[in-house]
């Protein structure tokens, strides 16, 4: 973890203990830098939530932290944040189930389409015993500590040209952009499309120029990243109730005092709650917005998508590493 002056941590802690942190002379004041990296665009809720994190922490622990927010993937490329945190090159990010599944295969159950039902169930799953068990594995295997679960939204298919899409067969041959890991590409193929890897920051141009035929993202991100300007249709497949886990490098977290740990966790919870409330509210209103913008919003045969996607996952190697009974426990979470 980075400190703003050269004084060693041990000396600082000794001095702080002797004097009480607030009575340290100005020259000895040090702030713990918390660098955040996210591919989120500024206008999306999971970008704005970091300001809530920063403000909450400034209020609860004045002068103790220097929170630095880096949006648009400007500090670390999308998908590289977990490794950066494990190495201690980055303090915080919001990582996906897909990022986690690369190192914790059990977690891939949450990359599968049509597993989590809605945002309320998502919160119950991750704030209950299932979350506790799986986050323990994350901390052990990834050297990052999950602090809160944010709802990224429910993913929908967004196409450049209008198409009659009722079942996965109707997406045959559609070059559907997915983030560039095999777990994401598998989801795109499970939807019936030809999955094409591309970083989030390149999607707008890809849609504009036609190097891809479509992309999938929750409606608030389609609005915030302005994908509606370069697409003509949204197919309401609702294939993934997506999550992002606010996580901190374990090295950084373990260097904090117990009180600081509690304050950082509380700030992460506040950030997630802000994101979740606003995103859920906006998600309910966006269909009208997109229609006004001239997009066709269509509803496919969601049951046909559900059946086909679920079967694809059940017959895959992913399902083989899902802990016995986990899917039943998820389904039983109400
Ligand atoms: C995306 O690239 O489609 C995705 O929605 C994947 C998420 O896991 C997350 O990285 C998100 O992009 C970014 O935060 C940008 O919104």
Domain 24-332 - what CATH class? alpha beta
* pLDDT tens per residue across all 334 residues of the chain: 554 443 444 444 444 444 444 455 555 569 999 999 999 999 999 999 999 999 999 999 999 999 999 999 999 999 999 999 999 999 999 999 999 999 999 999 999 999 999 999 999 999 999 999 999 999 999 999 999 999 999 999 999 999 999 999 999 999 999 999 999 999 999 999 999 999 999 999 999 999 999 999 999 999 999 999 999 999 999 999 999 999 999 999 999 999 999 999 999 999 999 999 999 999 999 999 999 999 999 999 999 999 999 999 999 999 999 999 999 999 999 9
Q: How many residues does the chain have?
A: 334
Q: At 10, list the tokens.
A: 């041990």
Long-range contact pairs involving 134-139 (C-beta distance under 8 Å, separation at least 24): 134/104, 134/106, 134/107, 137/104, 137/106, 137/107, 138/100, 138/104, 138/107, 138/245, 138/247, 139/250
Atom 1 of ligand 1 has which residue's CA nearest to it?
200
Domain positions in the chain are 24-332
Ligand 1 atom nearest to CA at 47: 14
Cβ atoms of 272 and 49 within 8 Å: the answer is: yes
The DSSP bridge pattern shows strands 214-218 and 144-159 to be: antiparallel
Give CA–CA dist 165/117, Å, rounded. 22
Atom 2 of ligand 1 has which residue's CA nearest to it?
200
Give distance in angstroms: CA of 39 to centre of ligand 1.
7
The finding on whether 248 has its CB within 6 A of some atom of ligand 1 is no
The finding on whether 231 has its CB within 6 A of some atom of ligand 1 is no
The finding on whether 188 has its CB within 6 A of some atom of ligand 1 is no
The finding on whether 81 has its CB within 6 A of some atom of ligand 1 is no
Q: At 94, list the tokens.
A: 């919001």
pTM comes to 0.92
Model pLDDT, residue 240? 98
The per-residue pLDDT of the chain, averaged, comes to 94
Give CA–CA dist 129/230, Å, rounded. 42
Atom 4 of ligand 1 has which residue's CA nearest to it?
200
Cβ atoms of 31 and 66 within 8 Å: the answer is: yes
């Amino acid at each position: 973890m980075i400190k703003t002056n050269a004084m060693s941590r041990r000396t600082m802690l000794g001095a702080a203990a002797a004097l009480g942190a607030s009575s340290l002379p100005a020259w000895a004041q040090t702030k713990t830098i918390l660098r955040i990296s996210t591919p989120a665009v500024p206008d999306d809720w999971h970008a704005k939530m970091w300001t809530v994190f920063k403000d909450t922490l400034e209020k609860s622990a004045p002068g103790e932290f220097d929170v630095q927010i880096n949006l648009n993937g400007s500090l670390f490329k999308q998908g590289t944040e977990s490794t950066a945190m494990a190495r201690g090159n980055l303090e915080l990010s919001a990582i996906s189930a897909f990022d986690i599944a690369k190192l914790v295969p059990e977690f891939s159950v949450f990359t599968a389409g049509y597993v989590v039902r809605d945002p309320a169930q998502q919160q119950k799953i991750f704030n209950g015993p299932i979350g506790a068990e799986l986050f323990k594995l994350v901390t052990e295997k990834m050297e990052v500590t999950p602090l809160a679960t944010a709802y990224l939204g429910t993913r929908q298919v967004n196409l450049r040209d209008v198409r009659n899409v009722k079942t996965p067969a109707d997406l045959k041959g559609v070059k559907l952009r997915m983030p560039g890991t095999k777990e994401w590409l598998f989801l795109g193929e499970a939807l019936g499309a030809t999955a094409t890897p591309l970083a989030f920051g390149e999607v707008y141009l890809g849609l504009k120029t036609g190097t891809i035929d479509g992309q999938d993202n929750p409606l608030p991100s389609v609005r915030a990243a302005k994908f509606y300007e370069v697409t003509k249709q949204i197919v309401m497949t609702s294939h993934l109730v997506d999550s992002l886990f606010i996580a901190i490098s374990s090295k950084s977290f373990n260097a904090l005092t117990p009180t600081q740990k509690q304050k950082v966790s509380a700030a992460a919870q506040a950030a997630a709650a802000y994101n979740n409330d606003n995103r859920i509210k906006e998600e309910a209103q966006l269909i009208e917005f997109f229609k006004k913008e001239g997009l066709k919003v269509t509803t496919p045969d969601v049951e046909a998508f559900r059946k086909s996607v679920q079967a694809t996952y059940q017959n895959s190697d992913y399902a083989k590493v899902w802990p016995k009974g986990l899917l039943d426990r998820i389904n039983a979470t109400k």
